[in-house]
Structure 1
Amino acid sequence: MVGIILASHGGFADGIFQSGEMIFGQQENVAHVILKPDEGPDDIYAKMEKAIESLDDKEQVLFLVDLWGGTPFNQASKFVEAHKDKWAIVAGMNLPMVIEAYASRFSMESAQEIATHIVETAKDGVKVMPEKLQPKEAVSMSAQETSQSTGSIPEGTVLGDGHIKYVLARIDSRLLHGQVATGWTKTTNPTRIIVVSDNVAKDNLRKTMISQAAPAGVKANTVPIQKMIEVEKDPRFGDTRALILFETPEDALKAIQGGVKINELNVGSMAYSEGKVNVNQVLAMNQKDVDTFKQLKELGVKFDVRKVPSSDREDMDKLLSKAQQLINEQK
């Protein structure tokens, strides 16, 4: 696996490393080094040398640094110059770049290939709101993509094998956020993200925010549960690889009972509210939730309890037993 070293002036590299792990999960073969205000070139060089030694595989190394021409860049250049046939540096580090570099290691074995690939993602991650402030070229491209994606397909048209493909179905009270838009999207490769919720479908602001939160190249939209049931039967979605997001297990149950063919649910996040008990750091349940999960299990649905792709799976039966015990104690 390609080794990655994040380097910056001040604590930026430390912070972006922590943010990357929050979104994409714990990473192996990654180091982060910083140049403190009272340090000089020799200090950051020594830290980089130590970081390289910490990598499992030193054959392929990629440096991501904050500024082109800055001290971290200049010192990294000394290392890359001795391995310029394989190693690489990319400057202008931002979070989309780091996440894309992590994800690219699943399919790319060369530091230089990853370096070339992540530059466009880093650029795409720079956007402005309101959209009228976006540079004209970017706005024009966005309008073109929207036009292409909303072109109507005649009813009755069969695309692919006529059956929508679910690459991931997830219960997440936060719906489309960083961990989904980057971590899960990169590992499941959907062509469309669909939020299935009667409540959100009535909320124009949340619908707009979900649409804007979609990663580059993936369209996101919100539909009520009944519409999702209709989509399941519509052959025009036969070429669609969908990542489905439910706000609650109750919404997932309604969709599945209505005919949406989901065999496994990824349980990622259920926020705490009054009347619920905390089962672990990210899941809170009440009696209705526990009963709903039991109904889903009776329907043959399996559970993948993970916040991010790199997390270890948790045992749903144990979590439900713990939730029931805590609920009983609360009475």
Structure 2
Amino acid sequence: MQIIVSGHGHFATGLQSNIKLLAGDLPGLSFVDFTGEMDEQQLAAKFTSLLEKDDQALFFCDLLGGTPYKQAVLLTRNFPQIAIVAGCNVGSLLEICVAGDWQKESPTALGEKFVIVSQQATKMFHHRHVQTEPEDGDGI
């Protein structure tokens, strides 16, 4: 079982750098950028090469409907056991991969877990005014 991280520009290698800084090298992860110099066929060839080594895979893509996502979807014809998620965050990738037991799960179960963890990790900061005690003017 492997996780293939892919996205536009240097999304994948950017996440790779982020993860390495926070958690070190994590096994089972591959990072495939889709840069402006590449076409869809080159991206599909990189994906296929990884799947030929291990056809149990979850694709972690940057955007729903983007080229990396669409190419992964097309590969389900020949690799029906792969699963694909899009829009998940680095927090979910870290939380799940650092736990270490993710490779025992099916690609579909792992994908569902990514969606749940990403939703739970997405929060908004709300500023709250802290009331201070009024000065009594005595200075004592």
Q: Specify if TM > 0.5.
A: yes
Aligned to 2:88: 93
* Amino acid across the alignment from 2:94: I
Alignment of 1:112-261 (within 5 A): 112-130=108-126
Shift, 1:109, TM fit: 2.6
Which runs of 5 or more structure 2 residues have no equivalent in the other structure? 129-140
The one-letter code of the counterpart of 2:41 is: D
Please tell me the residue identity of whatever aligns with 2:68: P
Higher RCO, 1 or 2 (CA under 8 Å, sep at least 6)? 2
CA contact (8 A) 1:14 1:33 kept: yes
Question: For residues 31 and 87 of structure 1, what CA distance do their matches in structure 2 show?
Answer: 14
SS in 2 for 1:6: strand
Over alpha carbons, which structure has the higher Rg?
Answer: 1
Matching residue's letter, 2:9: G
- Could you list the per-position Cα deviations for residues 7-54 of structure 1 after superposition, in whole angstroms to 9, with x for gaps in the alignment? 00000110101212222221222211111123221121122123334x
* Displaced runs of 4 or more, over 4 A: none
SS in 1 for 2:60: strand
1:59 is displaced (CA, Å) by: 4.1
Alpha-carbon offset, residue 83 of structure 1: 2.8
Matched with 1:102 is 97
Kindly indicate whether the alpha-carbon contact (under 8 Å) linking 1:63 and 1:76 is maintained by their aligned counterparts in 2. yes
The equivalences for 1:249-328 within 5 A come to none
User: How many aligned positions are there?
Assistant: 127
1:83 aligns with 2:44: no
CA distance in 2, matches of 1:100, 1:114: 12
Identity of aligned residues (%): 27
SS, match of residue 19 in structure 1 = helix
Letter in 2 for 1:11: H
- The answer on whether the counterparts of 1:80 and 1:89 sit within 8 Å (CA) in structure 2 is no
> Closer, same or farther in 2 for the Cα pair 1:104/1:91, shift >3 Å?
farther
TM-score (norm 1): 0.36
* AA aligned opposite 1:19: N
Alignment equivalent of 2:67, drawn from 71, 84, 87: 71
Counterparts of 1:131 and 1:61, CA distance in 2: 41
Distance 2:89 2:51 in 1: 21
Q: SS of 1:49's equivalent? A: helix
Q: C-alpha distance in 1, partners of 2:121/2:65?
A: 22
The 1-side partners of 2:38 and 2:115 are apart by: 29
CA distance in 1 between counterparts of 2:118 and 2:49 reads 27
Q: State the Cα distance separating 1:124 from its structure 2 match.
A: 2.1
Q: Distance in 2 between matches of 1:4 and 1:131?
A: 37
String of CA shifts for 1:106-145, please: whole Å, max 9, x gaps: 154311111111111111222222257xxxxxxxxxxxxx
Q: CA deviation at 1:105?
A: 4.7
Question: Take 1:42 and 1:94, find their aligned partners in 2: how far apart are those partners?
Answer: 26
User: TM-score, length-normalised on structure 2?
Assistant: 0.78
**AA partner of residue 70 (structure 1):** G
Structure-2 separation of matches of 1:101 and 1:48? 22
SS of 1:128's partner is coil
